[in-house]
Structure 1
Amino acid sequence: LVLRIELNGDFCSDSERCSRMPDGFWWGDWEFKISDASRNYMLTISPAIAGNLTERTNMDKFFYMNNGKQFTAIDKDNDRLHGNCAQFRDFG
C-alpha cells in the first residue's frame, strides 16, 4: 500500500521556518502497512519513495517520527508520551 500526503500553499508567516510560497505544492509517497491488534496496530513505513515533501532517505522526518509507532485510541494509550493524545486531541 502507498500513503500519499499532499500539501497546497504555505501560509505560515515565520520567514525563517517557512517557504513563503503561498502557491507551493508539496507531496510525498510512502509504502506502509499496519499490524494487527496483537501489536497494537503498529505502523511500519518506508522512507519516502517519491515526491518533494521530504528527503527520500532515512533522514525523512515523517519516517523517523512514525515508523514502528503503535496507534493510540481513546480507550488504550500505546505511545510513550505522558497522557493519552487521542483524548487530549479530541480523538484525532
Structure 2
Amino acid sequence: MNQNIAPARRGKESSKDCIVVETYLDALDSLRAAGMQTTAVFLSSNTKDYQTGGGVLEPALVSDFGQSNISYAPNMSAAKSFLGF
C-alpha cells in the first residue's frame, strides 16, 4: 500500500482492497500447497483498481496472480467463462 502497488492508488484509502487481495492470495497459496489444482478466479467489478486503461490486469498484479495461477474477472460472465460455465 505504501508503494502504491495495485490495487492501492495515491490519494485513495486502499487498505481494504489490499487486505482482500493479500488474503485471497494467501488462502489460495495454502489451498494450492494442499493439492488444490482447480481453476481460481478473482472477481471484482472495481476495474479502476485492478485493470489498466487498456482493460488488462494491472502489471503489479500480473506476477502475484501468475504465481498462484489466478485469473482476474471484471464481471460474473467473465468469471463463469474462466470456470467453464
Does the TM-score normalized on the shorter chain lie above 0.5?
A: no
Q: Normalized against structure 2, the TM-score is what?
A: 0.28
Bigger RCO of structures 1 and 2 (CA < 8 A, at least 6 apart): 2
**Which structure's CA Rg is the greater one?**
1
Q: Normalized against structure 1, the TM-score is what?
A: 0.27
Q: Which has the higher helix share?
A: 2
